[in-house]
């Protein structure tokens, strides 16, 4: 080991945000691998234009989202296809969002209610101006043509 080795200097320097304490900016980028595990069929369904909820094998409670077991009675659930049409239960207009969505602001998030389903489904509403959105408005699911295996592979449009 050469104790006199010197690291090459760059011309970039550091972006200083604060002096006391010193806060500097560094770029950080990683590839992140994670498993959807038992939720995998939900994401595979999005790639096939299918919304899969969960139905309790004990009490029959139907969840609009993947659930391994029932929150009402604790029994295991089975996959349960959801209707692709529903209604706006409630909504919010987002004027700020995560980095991936910043350029799309303002956008509308909705909680969708389906006939025969006991919980709500959070999604984006596309194709309606924020002032056009109403509680009870009929909506229909659409799926991204090029799936990314993310929750945003499904969104809703006015029916
Ligand atoms: Zn149950």
In order, the DSSP letters of 39-94 are GHHHHHHHHTT--EEEEETTT--EESS--SB-TTT--BEEEEEPPSEEEEEEEEEE
Give the distance (Å) from ligand 1 centre to CA of residue 51.
20
Give the distance (Å) from ligand 1 centre to CA of residue 116.
15
The 10s digit of each residue's pLDDT in 116-142 is 999 999 999 999 999 999 999 999 999
pLDDT of residue 1: 62
The 10s digit of each residue's pLDDT in 51-72 is 999 999 999 999 999 999 999 9
Give the distance (Å) from ligand 1 centre to CA of residue 65.
14
Give the distance (Å) from ligand 1 centre to CA of residue 112.
21
pLDDT of residue 99: 80
Provide, rounded to the nearest whole percent, the portion of the chain with pLDDT above 70. 99
Burial class from Cβ neighbours inside 10 Å (0-12, 13-18, 19+) for residue 78 reads exposed
Longest dimension (CA), the chain: 73
Stated pTM of the model: 0.80
101 pLDDT tier (thresholds 50, 70, 90): confident
| Distance between CA atoms of residues 137 and 151, nearest Å | 22
The neighbouring-strand residues paired with 31 are none
Give the distance (Å) from ligand 1 centre to CA of residue 76.
8
Give the distance (Å) from ligand 1 centre to CA of residue 71.
7
The neighbouring-strand residues paired with 81 are 52
Whether the predicted pLDDT of 17 surpasses 80: no
| Distance between CA atoms of residues 6 and 80, nearest Å | 62
């Amino acid at each position: 080991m050469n104790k006199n080795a010197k690291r090459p200097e760059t011309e970039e320097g550091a972006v200083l945000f604060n002096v006391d304490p010193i806060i500097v900016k560094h770029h950080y980028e990683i590839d992140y691998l994670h498993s959807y595990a038992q939720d995998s069929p939900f994401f595979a369904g999005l790639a096939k234009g299918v919304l899969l909820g969960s139905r309790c094998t004990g009490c029959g409670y139907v969840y609009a989202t993947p659930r391994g077991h029932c929150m009402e009675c604790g029994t295991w659930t089975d996959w349960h296809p959801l209707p692709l049409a529903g209604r706006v239960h409630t909504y919010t207009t987002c004027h700020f969002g995560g980095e991936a969505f910043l350029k799309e602001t303002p956008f509308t998030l909705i909680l969708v209610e389906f006939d025969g389903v006991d919980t709500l489904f959070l999604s984006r509403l596309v194709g309606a101006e924020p002032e056009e959105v109403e509680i009870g408005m009929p909506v229909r699911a659409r799926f991204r043509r090029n799936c990314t295996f993310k929750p945003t592979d499904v969104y809703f449009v006015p029916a």
